[in-house]
Amino acid sequence: MDLQTLWFAAVAVLWTGFLLLEGFDFGVAALLPVLGRRTPDRHLMLRSIGPLWDGNEVWLITAVGAVFAAFPGWYATWLPTLYLPFVLVLFGLIIRAVAFEWRHSHHTPAWDSSWTWVITTGSLIAALGIGAALGATTLGLPIDADGTRVGGAFAGLGWPALLGAVAVLAFSVVHGAMFLALKTDGPIRMAARAFARRWAPVASLPLLAWAGLVQLRDGTAVTAVLWLVAALAVVVAWARIRVEREGQAFAAWGTMLASAAATIFGAAYPVVVPSTVDAAFDVTIADASVSDYTLTVMTWAAGIGLPVVLGYQAWTYWVFRQRLTAEPVHEEPAEAHA
């Protein structure tokens, strides 16, 4: 495998990792008004993602950083073409980040519910916006031969963006419910399980449709198999949550996302920004890439750095592995069947 292909795969893995991790904290945040109407439930939900969301978000920073580092031609085409949508994503991420920390710097019900509302709103905006951006960069953007946008400020927001937005949000919401079912105990666990059972089949549809469209356009036999794996994983996830095996359901739902993302990136390869104006203007990894020297340097750095990162992030998840309950106890009893 040449270095450009390796880094395309690395970028795909980073985006997938981001969606798998931040997906559940987006989802939990989006579910706050649904499952967290009672204050102790809401606080339990926030506590379940409290130590994790910031580390999850670094996957986004790293994914965008890797796009810039390996494929500046992709970065410099994708971002300005969707200028205002990306700015909106930044707003969502900014307000939700400060809300997580500032929410508990002051103790009044109004303060608490306002910042909770901000967390939900910011997460919704960010999930929709990032979904739109990913949908657009795999299904098509209106760019000319120089990679410059054709049309006005919202020309990049066609149906591909809309499909991506809905797909990422729908995936995240059920992912969040699966996570809550796995991570908490008590009434919230039951409610989250019921929610996931009810919505998982529907919520998988936009993502499968998106992956299917990229597959139909440019797919290979391998990506076709990956798409089938994704579809099968939905069935497994749904079947396992029905019999209250939350861990297995969560894993299957994650497998669905990973397989769908692999289908999308695998089928789109080697194009990173398809042009809706003319296929001749498509930006490919060869057009967008940095030199082999720089890719080599980064391969070494990532080869050493990434396993270490994965190691300590895994340790964090291990430290905070206990199921949480609404009753605040300082030594949570460890749950064996997580």
Partner 1 sequence: MDVVGLDVLDLDTLDVARWQFGITTVYHFLMVPLTIGLGILVAVMHTMWVRTDKPEWLRMTRFWGRVYLINFVLGVATGLVQEFQFGLAWSEYSRFVGDVFGSLLALEALLAFFLESTFLGLWIFGWGRIPKKVHLATLWAAVVGSIVSAYFIIAANSWMQHPVGVVTDDATGRPRQVDFLAVLTNNTALAAFSHAIVAALMVAGALLVGIGLWHLRKRKLAQLPTTDTDHAVWRRSVRLGGWVSLAAFALVALTGDWQGKLMYEQQPLKMSSAEALCETEAPASFSIFAWGKLGSNECDDVHSITVPYILSYLAHGDFSTAVPGVNELQEEYSAAYGETYPDDPSFGDKAGEPIDYTPVLAVTYWSFRLMIGMGAVSAAVAAYALWATRKGRVPTSRIGVYGSLLAVAAPFVGNATGWIFTEMGRQPFVVYPNPDVPVEDQIYFFTAQAVSPGISAGEVWTSLISLTVVYGALAVVELWLLSRFVRRGVTSGDGHPTPGFTPEPPDDGDDGPDRGAPRRDRDDDVLQFAY
Name the residues that contact partner 1, by CB under 8 A: 43-44, 46-47, 50-52, 54-55, 57-58, 61-62, 64-66, 68-70, 72-73, 75-81, 83-84, 86-87, 90-91, 93-95, 97-98, 100-102, 104-107, 112, 146, 148-149, 152-153, 290-291, 293-294, 297-298, 301-302, 305-306, 309, 312-313, 316, 319-320, 328, 330
Nearer residue to partner 1 within complex by CB, 108 or 336: 108
Nearer residue to partner 1 within complex by CB, 127 or 174: 127
Nearer residue to partner 1 within complex by CB, 72 or 270: 72
Nearer residue to partner 1 within complex by CB, 38 or 104: 104
Tokens of 258: 């990973």
Interatomic CA distance for residues 79 and 279, integer angstroms: 20
Q: Please say whether the dihedral angle defined by the alpha carbons of residues 178, 205, 260 and 228, taken in this order, is positive or negative.
A: positive
Which element (helix H / strand E) includes 123? helix 109-139
How many Cβ atoms are within 10 Å of 108's Cβ, its own excluded? 8
CB of 40 to partner 1, least distance (A): 10
Instruction: Return the ∠ at Cα 141 (arms to 140 and 144), rounded to 5°.
Output: 120
Nearer residue to partner 1 within complex by CB, 61 or 216: 61
Nearer residue to partner 1 within complex by CB, 228 or 301: 301
List the one residue out of 148, 197, 169, 238 whose CA is nearest residue 27.
Answer: 169
Contact 141, 78 (CB under 8 A): yes
Tell me the one-letter amino acid at 327. Answer: E
List the one residue out of 196, 197, 204 whose CA is nearest residue 28.
Answer: 196
